[in-house]
């Protein structure tokens, strides 16, 4: 199958035709999604097939209006969500609702809840408005791989698997949406993301952080049950205080110089690379392969998946470092921790 990359402008008719025939990759402010109309179970099955996504992993539904939202839920919008929707939609906040009985089983993996958000990207909102249907939209990559934040990332993973990628530029936020179930007796943050726990708690004071992949009632959040965000390279996280991390980086840096190519199983790659905040630049030598995440957690969120993909092309082992979980840092650490296989 030939895969085209194109802009929305001047191509809406073609996009609308394609999306009724096969899954299409679309941009959002978080990561690129792999979209199919929510009522088309045949196309939703293709989304799972393209991604190699387990069937018991529920999907997030994307809407462009509250009218479309209401077609997917049972009853009215819960009052507890009114302030959150006013504050954060369109935006990277996914909310769990009691699902409409009409929704296909594959959207929710049999759960009584459906996860819904309104993306903050004009191109995708235009597409949803045009077809007048919500879109399911897990990340447009092979399951377990780092999420795509550019059209090129999608092409790298799914070239030949789909006919169309809508190019909406680089994603502004860079990590997935925050997922909240606010209609439980104790509201829960199910997945850390681009909106911080602290920001949401201002509107939902009783919000707590869920520590597992499902809640006490068995609810599973999209994107939490299975291995995620993992490059082919081995990812090692360096933990501790900033001083302890610096000391460990000094040792690792000496090893990387001595063994750079000797332990690499692929001669086209260096042995070691570094994915680090700017504050650790002093420990990295000019000849080292490194990708820096910026000076703050917000910038790190924008860069993390591009950094994992860049280093995966060039090195066999990626060293990264623990960062503060305050604000956007919680979402960044969630992704880094899931990508890592070793901790030192």
139 is in an annotated binding site: yes
178 is in an annotated binding site: no
147 is in an annotated binding site: yes
Q: What is the DSSP string of 84-149?
A: HHHHH-SSSEEEEEEBPTTS-HHHHTT-SEEEEE----HHHHHHHHHHTS-EE--BSS-TTSPPP-
121 is in an annotated binding site: no
53 is in an annotated binding site: yes
203 is in an annotated binding site: no
Sheet with 234-238, side-by-side order of all strands: 290-292, 270-276, 315-321, 234-238, 342-343
> Residue 62 in contact with residue 33, Cβ under 8 Å?
yes
Cα-trace Rg, the chain:
20
- Local structure of 8: helix, strand or coil: coil
191 is in an annotated binding site: yes
Question: Cα-flanking dihedrals φ and ψ of residue 158, to 5°?
Answer: -120, 15
> Residue 171 in contact with residue 31, Cβ under 8 Å?
yes
256 is in an annotated binding site: no
Tokens of 73: 């839920």
Which residues make up each annotated binding site for L-threonine?
Answer: 30, 62, 117, 177
Which residues make up each annotated binding site?
Answer: 30, 53, 57, 62, 117, 139, 147, 177, 191, 229
Which residues make up each annotated binding site for ATP?
Answer: 53, 57, 139, 147, 191, 229
């Amino acid at each position: 199958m030939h895969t085209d990359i194109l802009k929305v402008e001047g191509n809406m008719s073609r996009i609308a035709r394609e999306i009724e025939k096969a899954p299409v990759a679309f941009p959002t402010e978080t990561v690129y999604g792999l979209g199919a109309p929510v009522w088309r179970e045949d196309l939703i099955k293709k989304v799972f097939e393209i991604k190699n996504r387990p069937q018991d992993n529920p999907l997030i539904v994307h809407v462009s209006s509250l009218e479309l939202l209401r077609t997917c839920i049972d009853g009215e919008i819960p009052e507890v969500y009114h302030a959150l929707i006013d504050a954060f939609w369109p935006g990277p906040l996914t909310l769990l609702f009691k699902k409409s009985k009409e929704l296909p089983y594959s959207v929710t993996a049999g759960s009584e809840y459906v996860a819904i958000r309104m993306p903050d990207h004009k191109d995708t909102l235009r597409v949803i408005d045009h077809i007048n249907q919500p879109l399911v939209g897990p990340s447009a990559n092979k399951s377990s791989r780092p999420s795509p934040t550019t059209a090129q990332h999608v092409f790298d993973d799914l070239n030949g698997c789909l006919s169309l990628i809508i190019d909406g530029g680089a994603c502004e936020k860079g990590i997935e949406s925050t997922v909240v179930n606010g209609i439980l007796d104790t509201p829960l943050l199910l997945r850390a993301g681009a909106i911080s726990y602290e920001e949401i708690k201002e509107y939902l004071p009783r919000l707590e952080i869920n520590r597992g992949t499902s809640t006490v009632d068995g609810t599973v959040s999209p994107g939490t049950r299975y291995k995620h965000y993992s490059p082919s390279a081995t990812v090692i996280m360096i933990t501790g205080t900033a001083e302890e991390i610096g000391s460990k980086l000094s040792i690792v840096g000496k090893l990387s110089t001595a063994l750079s190519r000797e332990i690499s199983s692929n001669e086209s790659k260096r042995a070691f690379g570094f994915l680090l905040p700017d504050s650790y630049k002093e420990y990295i030598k000019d000849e080292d392969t490194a990708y820096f995440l910026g000076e703050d957690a917000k910038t790190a969120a924008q860069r993390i998946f591009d950094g994992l993909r860049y280093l995966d092309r060039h090195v066999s082992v990626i060293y990264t470092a623990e960062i503060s979980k305050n604000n956007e840092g919680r979402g960044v650490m969630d992704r880094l921790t899931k990508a890592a296989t070793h901790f030192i």
